[in-house]
Structure formats: structure tokens, C-alpha cells
Chain A
């Protein structure tokens, strides 16, 4: 059972981001890292948007972060969402990847629980075609945090 219905679109990996999605299939989160300026960036590009270097690697990250902002979708903008209850979309700022954010959903948070700063941790859920997507679960607000962000 996934947070959103099976008929939702699935990812289409490209030359730039196939390793990101391949890692997700192993329930690991990896983010593009520039080995020249030592900054993370997302989404994957052929060169670093901070310094322009093409000396890039993939770095595993903890999967912990916090809600930077969020919305609640009430309107069925896709046929698969017809009759679906309101759902959250969160911009998750990762704890240990510079200013990298992932667009995702907090799968166990009711709309009224959503707030900026909510700590979350990655989990993986199948899209309609079985591809594993990174989504997030809420963490206890008092749990120790892994790292600083920019």
C-alpha cells in the first residue's frame, strides 16, 4: 500500500540520474556530489551548478531531514486522484547534503500534523510500476538530529 494511488506517474531514469534511481531500488539514498567544490546538488545535472565542474560522484546520505515547506493537495489534478483524500507534498531539506531538497510525501502525517521543521526519515515505497520511490516518515521531534544544514 503506497501513499498515493497506483495510477500515478512513475519515474523515468535518464543518463543523468539512473544511479539515483538504481540506489533507491536497493533502498539507499544517494545524492550528486561535486568533488571539486565539495558541494551536493540535486537534481542531477552533467556539471555542478555551484562551480561548473564535471568531477562528480554519488554520495550516500543518511536519509534524515526536515520539512522545509509543504502543501496539501485537495484537488484531483490527475485521473488517479479522483476521490482520493487530501494528501501532503513536502519539500524535505536533507540533514547531510548541503541545501539539497527532495520533493516527496510524509506518508504517516495527517494534514494537520504537517509543519515546517517536522523531522523526517526516508522510507521507500513502490510506484505503480513497482519502482521504489523515496518517501518520508515523521520522526519524534525530540530525537537527536544527525547534522547541520546550510
Chain B
């Protein structure tokens, strides 16, 4: 089965044909180069990977907070024709997989031969997401109380999850050290210094229970993914990763979740609002959570990964602690997670680097390649409004 529906013509099925990124650097590390030039460089690299000229790109997609609009990116690529441009609503990473969903929709419906989903972030030149920013909606209920960073906002939902499902600081430490260990093998990763359990517990508290090493990086860089149809990919003769499932979803009354007023329904409060998107992507792909061999789970904060395990059915309700303790999520385990180091240790590109790693795992050319990947899951978002996800098949 595949996106968008089972009966979709095989020749029009969307596939990922190229991925590319700039060098990832710590915040400020790219201050000598403007963000748009990084965006263009990432797209060039993705086009090279796809075996096409960037001037062949006709579709442009991204998600909330992207600063570079398609007609400008098109000009910077000297591409003669833009036929499709769209952005997913929502701040932060919730719409990242959604931007690939848009690109897939564009090529599957003949609106573009090649579409690129892109994200560029230079926190050294622009706003810092971890600092106070005016909230356009419901800011009156947030800022005056010192609720000013995503770490504070999501630590509240994760504390409630701990209370309801019996996880603790040890589980956060296990994920932090596991993601760092993966990053150590990845030459693209910004943070490759060894991180021990003791280092984790010695790090300063940021938003209790989140310590420094529960928080993602502040990095500068750009990343892009190019989508086309199976028919075009076959003519190019490049490895093509089929998009088996791609979806966006939100449950009732979630609104902006922890980034808003925290009035989500009580029964979904301690979640990442992804049970609905999970249901859709597993149905589209016609598989069960147990059929996933490798997962990139959105890790702006380690606690979000723990909640994702439950929302995506990768563990039973209340089973996250045991799954993490088993070592299953480490390299060599039954479900390796964030195999390039994730947002935690590779780079913070609002999840686009997670999609690139999911593609590499599906192609079989990842740095820490999981053997025999048939289904590669990537999820987007943890704290924001609606969420999105992809399931990719083997190239």
C-alpha cells in the first residue's frame, strides 16, 4: 500500500529521490553566510543526490517558521518555473513531515515533476527558540507567569506523563546518552562528545524534570528532501524511497497544546497529540507498529520521545519505561531510535534532519545502518499544535 490511497496509480506514487543538507554548526557558526544561501546549498545538495538539476524543481514546500518563501528560493536556484508552493501551518516541528506530505501530494497529482521540502534555521542570525518570544495567540496566559520557553512548556506535559505512566529521570538519561552515542558515529553531528549517565545527572536543571541534556541543540544549517513520482524515478535510475504513508492530524480541543494554554482534554494531556496521526499512517501503510524496524522520533526534548513511544503504539500504554530499560531503542536493539543523533545531538532543523536520516535508513546508506529496514518511521512535533508523520518503505 502507499500514499495517498491504495488504488493510486503506481506510476504516480510519490518517492523520495534525494536528500541534502549543509554542514551543521552550533548557533552562530554560519554567521558569515546568510540563511537563504544555506537553504539554497541544501537544495543543491539534495538535487545532486537525486541526480537532477535544481532548475528542474517545480514544487516548493515547508512548514511554519520558514523564512524563505518559494518564489525567492526559486529565483536563487535560477529555476525557470514554479508550479506549486505550500506551507504547513503551525510553529516548530509539527508540520515537518507535513511538508513532505505536501510535496508528495504535488507530484502525485501532477502539479510538479520534482518538489522540494526544505527547512533553514540560523538561530545565530535570527530569533532563538529557547528564549522568550511574544506569542501571537493566548500570550496573556503564558508570559506573565514565566512560561516562556518550549522546555518549560513541554516539561509540564512530561511531568504529568511520569505521574500517570511511571517513567522517571533514568529514562530521560537513557535516551540522552543513547542519542549521543549514535551521534558519535555520525560525522555530520554537531555534538559528538561522549555523554555518560553521570554527565547527564551532573548537568544543570533547565525546566524540572528537564536538564540541559534533555534539550535539543541550537544549531545553524539547512536541509532539503526532493520528491518525485515512481515513474520519473525509474527513468533516473536512482534509489527511490517510497512514501508508504504521509499524514497530518490533531485530536479534539488540542489547539496549541503545551505551547498554548494547556487546556487539552485531560485524557490526552500527557501525550504529544499523535495518536490520531499514528492511526492514519499505520492504516495507510497497512502495517502495525511492530512492523517498524527503525524510528526517528521528534526529540526537541527527550521526554517527547517517551510520549511518542506510547502515542505511536511502539509500546503498550504504561510500557514506555520497560521498553527503554530493555535497551531496545539503542543501536543494535529491536527498535533503534534517532540513529543519527536526532535533534538532541545531530542538529536542530525542526525535524528535517530526522526525515533525511529516515530516508537513509530506508535506502540502506545510513551511518549506523539498521539491517533489513522495510519500514522507516519518522514523526514530527511534540509540543505544538497538529502533528505529522511519514512511513517510508525500502528503496
A118 to B252, CA, bound (A): 28
Q: Mark A63-84, 1 if CB is under 8 A from B, else 0.
A: 0000011111111011001000
* Contact status of A9 and B263, CB under 8 A, knowing A71-B152, A71-B207: no
A122 to B300, CA, bound (A): 33
Main DSSP-derived SS at the A contact region: loop
Q: Which residues of A contact B149 (CB under 8 A)?
A: 75, 77
Q: Which residues of A contact B142 (CB under 8 A)?
A: 103
Q: Which residues of B contact A4 (CB under 8 A)?
A: 144-146
A127 to B140, CA, bound (A): 11
- Which residues of B230-277 have CB atoms within 8 Å of chain A's CB atoms? 252-253, 255, 260-263, 265-266, 269-270
* Contact status of A77 and B131, CB under 8 A, knowing A87-B146, A91-B262: yes
Q: Which residues of B contact A150 (CB under 8 A)?
A: 266
Q: Which residues of B contact A91 (CB under 8 A)?
A: 156, 262
CB-based contact A133/B144 at 8 Å: yes
A116 to B253, CA, bound (A): 23
Residue of B nearest to A71 (CB): B155
Q: Which residues of A contact B141 (CB under 8 A)?
A: 11, 43, 102-103
A50 to B147, CA, bound (A): 26
CB-based contact B130/A77 at 8 Å: yes
CB proximity of B73 to chain A, nearest CB, Å: 32
CB-based contact A12/B262 at 8 Å: no
CB-based contact A89/B265 at 8 Å: no
CB-based contact B148/A78 at 8 Å: yes
The yes or no answer to A17 lying at the interface (CB within 8 A) is yes
Residue of B nearest to A9 (CB): B143
- Which residues of A54-110 have CB atoms within 8 Å of chain B's CB atoms? 68-75, 77-78, 81, 86-87, 89, 91, 99-105
CB-based contact A71/B140 at 8 Å: no
CB-based contact A69/B132 at 8 Å: no
Q: Which residues of A contact B260 (CB under 8 A)?
A: 43
CB proximity of B240 to chain A, nearest CB, Å: 43
Residue of A nearest to B142 (CB): A103
The yes or no answer to B163 lying at the interface (CB within 8 A) is yes
Residue of B nearest to A81 (CB): B146
A72 to B152, CA, bound (A): 8
CB proximity of A120 to chain B, nearest CB, Å: 14
* Contact status of A69 and B157, CB under 8 A, knowing A78-B146, A99-B266: yes
A116 to B43, CA, bound (A): 48
CB-based contact A8/B146 at 8 Å: yes
CB-based contact A75/B156 at 8 Å: no
CB proximity of B133 to chain A, nearest CB, Å: 10
CB proximity of B122 to chain A, nearest CB, Å: 20
Residue of A nearest to B163 (CB): A116
CB proximity of A148 to chain B, nearest CB, Å: 13
A150 to B260, CA, bound (A): 21
Q: Please give the number of chain B residues whose Cβ is less than 8 angstroms from any Cβ of chain A in the complex.
A: 41
The yes or no answer to A28 lying at the interface (CB within 8 A) is no
Q: Mark B293-332, 1 if CB is under 8 A from A, else 0.
A: 0000000000000000000000000000000000000000
CB-based contact B132/A11 at 8 Å: no
A150 to B253, CA, bound (A): 15
Q: Mark B126-170, 1 if CB is under 8 A from A, else 0.
A: 000011101000111111111111011001110110010000000
The yes or no answer to B205 lying at the interface (CB within 8 A) is yes
CB-based contact A72/B205 at 8 Å: yes
* Contact status of A74 and B144, CB under 8 A, knowing A41-B263, A43-B138, A89-B156: no
CB proximity of B86 to chain A, nearest CB, Å: 27
The yes or no answer to B206 lying at the interface (CB within 8 A) is yes
CB-based contact B152/A77 at 8 Å: yes
CB-based contact B261/A42 at 8 Å: yes
The yes or no answer to B208 lying at the interface (CB within 8 A) is yes
A123 to B120, CA, bound (A): 44
CB-based contact B263/A42 at 8 Å: yes
CB-based contact A12/B139 at 8 Å: yes
The yes or no answer to A111 lying at the interface (CB within 8 A) is yes
* Contact status of A100 and B263, CB under 8 A, knowing A70-B156, A74-B206, A75-B151: yes
Q: Which residues of A contact B265 (CB under 8 A)?
A: 99
The yes or no answer to A13 lying at the interface (CB within 8 A) is yes
* Contact status of A103 and B130, CB under 8 A, knowing A8-B146, A72-B205: no
Residue of A nearest to B155 (CB): A71
Q: Which residues of A contact B209 (CB under 8 A)?
A: 71
Q: Mark A109-148, 1 if CB is under 8 A from B, else 0.
A: 0010000100000000001000001010000000000000
Q: Which residues of B contact A75 (CB under 8 A)?
A: 149, 151, 204, 206-207
Partner of A9, one of B139, B152, B255: B139
The yes or no answer to A49 lying at the interface (CB within 8 A) is yes
Residue in B142, B148, B163 with the greatest tally of chain A CB atoms within 10 Å: B148
Q: Mark B188-224, 1 if CB is under 8 A from A, else 0.
A: 0000000000000000111111000000000000000
- Could you jot down 12 A-B contacts, CB within 8 Å? A4-B146, A9-B132, A10-B144, A69-B157, A71-B155, A72-B208, A75-B207, A77-B131, A78-B131, A99-B265, A111-B208, A133-B144
